[in-house]
Structure 1
Amino acid sequence: MASRALNTEDSRVLVVGDVMLDRYWFGEVERISPEAPVPIVRVTGEEFRLGGAANVAANICSIGAKAALISAVGRDEASVRLAGLLEEHGIKPLLSSHDALKTIVKLRVSGRSQQLLRIDFDDRPASHMLTELSDNFERQIGDYDVVIFSDYGKGGLAQIARKIAYARQIGKPVLVDPKGDDYSAYRGATVVTPNRAELARVIGAWDSEEQMVERAQNLRTELKLDALLVTRSEEGMSLFDSEGHLRVPAEAREVFDVTGAGDTVIAILGVMIGLGMPIREAIGYANRAAGIVVGKFGTAVPTREELFA
């Protein structure tokens, strides 16, 4: 892939999915608790970052493209912090707020430069909230070049099949970061981007590269996808499309934290497709961006300067 700066501001991406607030407590570990065999963390710092679908949108804006975010949140302290972070990153919020819903929060506790514990505060939107999200999606989609669905299995994309069908009907490319072991709801998408472990849950463990390639192509054909992009950690990426199997080696970088790397891949891929770039060229930029963020701590984003360096 030749490195060339692009007019990324011309790409408008609509992100839809499960949004969450990533909260970090940093501290020192000096002793073990007398109450249980667990470390005592003396908290010395706190940080908030965008998580889930919001991190996808943050990655889009970090390289100069435009992103809007459709999701459901509560009317609580976490949603206020989330709104502030969205504004800080330049993300257009298209959020539905509800008293009966709690904003999803993931609290990570770290000591001695490593994560010790993660605590999840989860909630699922009710059916009337999902209908509101679908209606909002159909009103907004015409203003964007491409749609990314970020599925974290928290219930916000329960009506995703309807949304994909509508987006493709009006000619919009659709990218899906999947969840679970049944991808039938993603039928007809442009690209689905599972990681290696996620793919294995759908097609079964494989004994050889040839078996994996055959099963992946069968899945792509069955779901009527233009492409299936599998992120394979240190093995890079595999793209399956009508031309066959394209292997993309991983960028050679020190891996510090893989949190959010999948968000980065689909975000950068979406931006490039929004510019009209073919998928086989776009994955080079997505691969480079993933190599950048795994060298950073926590849910992180690449900068435009890093991507086009």
Structure 2
Amino acid sequence: MKIDQLFKEFENIKVLVLGDVMIDAYFYGSVTRISPEAPVPIVNLKHKEQRLGGAANVALNLKSLGAEPILCSIKGNDADGDLIKTLCRKNGLVDALINDYSRKTTVKTRVIGNSHQLIRIDEEDTKDIDESVEDLVYEAINSLISEINVLIFQDYNKGLLTPTLIARVIELCIAKKVPIVVDPKFNNFFEYQGVTLFKPNKKELQQAENIGEHLNVQGVKSVAGLVRKKLNASKIMTTLSEDGVLIIGENGTVHLPAHARKIVDVSGAGDSVLSVAALCVACGVSDELTAALSNLAGGIVCEQVGVVPIDKDLLYAEAMELEVSERY
């Protein structure tokens, strides 16, 4: 498929993003002295920012790419939960957010002094949702399943994605022939049975298989192939940082090295890779083209400061310049 045709097709894709949402808060200031109370810097606060984080950042990436995301998650019945709803509206995101009255909304606050992060403060409740909340989440998904072209599990191990909910949603998607894309974390790693595309990074892959030593690309291929078989997944896509991206699927193995770039900040790169890969899956393009575009997306985001959605125009321009559709 030609790149211009594919990017136009992105605009016809509706994606259900199911995962843990949070607020990413930033306190920015200057440091000129050490506290007399303890050996810690005093930050003279200049300004604050509050942004959508977690699964919501995946939704923002999808929207930036022209797709139509629907964000399904839980939040606390609190001011931070209200803020998530407000930020979704401001960013034009359709949400299916459900109140969990037993927990607080997850907030991660970073204190930045003189452009350096000094500390991160996490406010969260990571216990599994109870059965009644799980049923509400499932009902929301069931009501939307006929509208969507692909479903993304974005798992941060914050309690939304329980083994039973994962199994129920996968069964529903398979019955409705909706492709499933997964960004896993450790706790539920092997719960995602029979999905379309499973996307761990190299560290997560090694952690799941309890491999401590360094793995070269060939070693990652071997481990990823084993994990794919354990999961009965159609394909597994592993991000390898400076070594690029690897996809192992029914049609063989694709490994594309990373492009040389000036890396500024790797935050959020995985979300951009996942978003592009999910849209490629929904559009039915080859593993080679999926790997190439996802690889470009991750690299572009790494050249920018902070967690920012992928710029569709930049991605399109690079893909055209490199003649990605002709090469892959």
Check the 8 A contact 1:149/1:176 in 2, yes or no.
yes
Match in the other structure for 2:231: 223
Structure 1 residue 279, shift from structure 2 partner: 3.4
Is 1:247 aligned with 2:255? yes
Match in the other structure for 1:154: 158
Query: How do residues 270-285 of structure 1 correspond to structure 2 at under 5 angstroms?
Result: 270-285=278-293
Query: How do residues 190-269 of structure 1 correspond to structure 2 at under 5 angstroms?
Result: 190-203=196-209, 204-205=211-212, 208-269=216-277
Structure 1 residue 297, shift from structure 2 partner: 2.3
Identity of aligned residues (%): 36
- AA in 2 matched with 1:298: G
Structure 1 residue 296, shift from structure 2 partner: 2.0
2:39 to 21, 26, 37: 37
Match in the other structure for 1:120: 122
Check the 8 A contact 2:224/2:238 in 1, yes or no.
no
Match in the other structure for 2:4: 4
SS in 2 for 1:4: helix
- AA in 2 matched with 1:191: L
2:176 to 170, 180, 185: 170
Match in the other structure for 1:138: 142
1:179 to 177, 181, 185: 185
- Deviations 1:43-86, CA, capped at 9 Å, x for gaps: 10111111111000000001111000110111222122211221
Check the 8 A contact 1:165/1:188 in 2, yes or no.
no
Match in the other structure for 1:299: 307
1:18 to 20, 23, 32: 20
- AA in 2 matched with 1:128: S
Which range moves more in the overlay, 67-76 or 197-206? Answer: 197-206
Structure 1 residue 209, shift from structure 2 partner: 3.8
Distance 1:172 1:238 in 2: 23
Is 1:89 aligned with 2:95? no
Distance 2:42 2:261 in 1: 33
Which range moves more in the overlay, 23-32 or 92-101? Answer: 92-101
Structure 1 residue 182, shift from structure 2 partner: 5.4
- AA in 2 matched with 1:295: E
List alignment gaps of at least 5 residues for structure 1.
none
SS in 1 for 2:87: helix
- AA in 2 matched with 1:201: Q
Check the 8 A contact 2:73/2:98 in 1, yes or no.
yes
- Deviations 1:195-233, CA, capped at 9 Å, x for gaps: 111010122245554333222111101211111111111
Cα separation, partners in 2 of 1:210 and 1:305, compared to 1, 3 Å: closer
- AA in 1 matched with 2:168: R
Distance 1:127 1:40 in 2: 45
Structure 1 residue 275, shift from structure 2 partner: 2.5
List alignment gaps of at least 5 residues for structure 2.
318-328
Structure 1 residue 119, shift from structure 2 partner: 0.8
**TM-score (normalised: structure 1):** 0.94
- AA in 2 matched with 1:52: G
- Deviations 1:162-199, CA, capped at 9 Å, x for gaps: 21121122111100000116522101011111111101
Distance 1:210 1:283 in 2: 17
Check the 8 A contact 1:12/1:274 in 2, yes or no.
no
Which range moves more in the overlay, 21-30 or 80-89? Answer: 80-89
Check the 8 A contact 1:181/1:201 in 2, yes or no.
no
Structure 1 residue 294, shift from structure 2 partner: 1.5
Which range moves more in the overlay, 151-160 or 98-107? Answer: 98-107
Cα separation, partners in 2 of 1:216 and 1:160, compared to 1, 3 Å: same
- Deviations 1:283-302, CA, capped at 9 Å, x for gaps: 22221111121122222111
- Deviations 1:216-269, CA, capped at 9 Å, x for gaps: 111101211111111111111111112332111113222222122111111111
Which stretches of structure 1, 4 residues or more, deviate above 6 A after TM superposition?
A: none
- AA in 1 matched with 2:132: H
